[in-house]
Structure 1
């Protein structure tokens, strides 16, 4: 038994086997947070572009539905639909809002979600 207790061969393999899953999960979470931030920036960009398009009465954005389609086309990084965007006129001018439910770490089977939102108002 004493000979086995003094044997140090394979210690680093055991330490690596214990530490690697924690490191891999941390790295995956970090990448996923980056993708979530990228999706949020994409949503904000799409909302701002759609509000600008509608406020200057561009041929691409003559109706609310056209403006929603324009916002969908301006997103990148996730699959948006026209239901993700609302367009209206308020005291500040044209208000466009966007919402998207982001599933965090969905590739490993978790059901964690967070609501990403963006809002902007452009004068008419």
Structure 2
């Protein structure tokens, strides 16, 4: 007599891979796209922070170039190289020194309802 597994037709397992793929693919795709968006957000934030620090240092050290709100904002806008963000730079003299505050937002687009949106962020840099 043959064992039960040997009598099973070969076609019984044909759809198993398709079902596993259908269960795993959406989660894998969402994780991949989420990782890409998170990397974009971290890159934009770090670039905005670096630009604010450069602008605060310019206002402190290079007073011929960065002498008021308009010139500091123009300097910072010329230095910013982030993606998908239109930053707004403000300059003020504070107790900590020359303070530059930058704010912007990154719009996240996804095909999933409720998964997109706008991620606002603000950074501040101060140089004595």
The bucket for the TM-score relative to the shorter chain is: 0.7 to 0.9
Q: Distance in 1 between matches of 2:35 and 2:22?
A: 21
Per-residue CA deviation, residues 48-81 of structure 1 (Å, 9 max, x unaligned), is 0000111113443232111101111222222424
Q: Distance in 2 between matches of 1:75 and 1:107?
A: 26
The structure with the largest alpha-carbon Rg is 2
TM superposition outliers: structure 1 runs of 4+ over 4 Å: none
Residues 20 and 100 of structure 1, relative CA distance in 2, 3 Å threshold:
same
**Alignment root-mean-square deviation, CA:** 2.1
Contact 1:45–1:74 at 8 Å: present in 2 too? no
Q: Distance in 2 between matches of 1:98 and 1:31?
A: 23
Q: Distance in 1 between matches of 2:111 and 2:78?
A: 29
1:26 aligns with 2:31: yes
Q: Distance in 2 between matches of 1:52 and 1:72?
A: 15
Answer 1 or 2: which has greater helix percent. Answer: 1
Q: Among residues 65, 71, 75, which one is paired with 2:70 in the alignment? A: 65
Q: Among residues 34, 50, 60, which one is paired with 2:55 in the alignment? A: 50
Q: TM-score, normalised by structure 2?
A: 0.79
1:80 aligns with 2:83: no
Segments of 5+ residues of structure 1 without an aligned counterpart are: none
Q: Among residues 108, 111, 115, which one is paired with 1:108 in the alignment? A: 111
